[in-house]
Structure 1
Amino acid sequence: KAGFIVNQTRNLCLYPNVFLMDQFSTQIRVVRPLGVDKTEVTIFCFAPKGESAEDRANRIRQYEDFFNVSGMGTSDDLEEFRACQTAYAGSVP
């Protein structure tokens, strides 16, 4: 069982707006529509209790490198969100 827990990545969507993500870092994402053309995404990142200052700094830098706007894992997500917002504002002929 431990191997299954440690060696897997998981994403769970609690419809309609909460995502539990256990991958490179454990995080909760909350998506909150503010209007037809604007959405707020808040991310809560979790860390182990008793983590050393050095480990914490390293984990945060790795998180930022991957999940920040300019990170390796976020730019395609942001484009998807942008395209959705554009479509939501569209009109039907």
Structure 2
Amino acid sequence: MDEYEILIFPYNEQDMPEPDRGPAVRSARVQRTGEEGVSGHPRYNGAGVQAEIDPDTLAVEAITIDGAHLPDGWSARVADAAETS
């Protein structure tokens, strides 16, 4: 796919029960750059976010936001169709 929406959360979903989770604190629509990242997956850019996304699992394998790595404990994932409508 050539475009995804990435959601950024101030927690790791594995570490927090679902009722305690809040909404994404940031989102970004990213487009494929045509380059391969250091993870070996396609690189995407947009709205200050640079990410490498596994096209098979849609896992965000690497990400920077405004040139910085995510703070410890934060997470990023590709939004599903229900979250982008």
TM-score by length of 1: 0.25
Bigger RCO of structures 1 and 2 (CA < 8 A, at least 6 apart): 2
TM-score by length of 2: 0.27
Larger radius of gyration: 1
- Structure with the bigger percentage of strand: 2
